[in-house]
Amino acid sequence: MANRSKKAVLSARIDPFLKAGLELAATTQNEKIVALLEYGIQGVLSTTVVDDPFGDNPDDKTSFILLMEKIWSEDEVVYKLRVGGLGFKYAELETVDVATLVSNDDYFKGEFKLFGDLKVNRSKVNYMPDNISIDLELVREEWSTLNEYVKFIQRNKSLDVNYHSFKTMIKNNKSN
């Protein structure tokens, strides 16, 4: 898995009117277009309100940027597992399934506390156990296999194959 860089590339098609306006705003504000885009995205994330999974009450809300500040990690695996832990309201099925598998399978237990450094008041968090400890290196080593397994299960819903049997199938297939 490649390291995540400090900047991400974003490609988007926008209305020519908006593009011209962005270029004009950059010129008049003596800013680079990318800086204006970042300010705009931060503004949208700051004003977009979502359910707060860390709130005291189910009706609590938070801005999306505050939620991101709580769960963000430079480590892609840690971030994806945290997002998956938030459930279907915040993550796609595959991400939730991988996070559930890693959190519930004793095979992945270890010393790394997945939510140990969250920027939240732990006494307020009641949906996400504080005691999820994983072997982060093992999860990293098997990250692509975990994702392949979840995709396999989604495509073959009628089959009852656990993760360890899937790994054996893959290993046997490669040796043939």
19-54: pLDDT as tens digits: 999 999 999 999 999 999 999 999 999 999 999 888
Tokens matching residue 107: 């095979």
Enumerate the domain spans of the chain: 16-47, 74-166
Is there a contact between 162 and 145 (Cβ–Cβ < 8 Å)?
no
Distance CA 135, CA 14 (A): 43
* Coil/strand/helix, residue 111: strand
* Coil/strand/helix, residue 139: helix
Q: What is the model's pLDDT at position 70?
A: 87
What are 112-154's pLDDT values in tens digits?
988 877 765 544 444 555 568 899 999 999 999 999 999 999 9
pLDDT of 77 higher than 70: yes
| pTM of the predicted structure, to 2 decimals | 0.81
Distance CA 143, CA 156 (A): 20
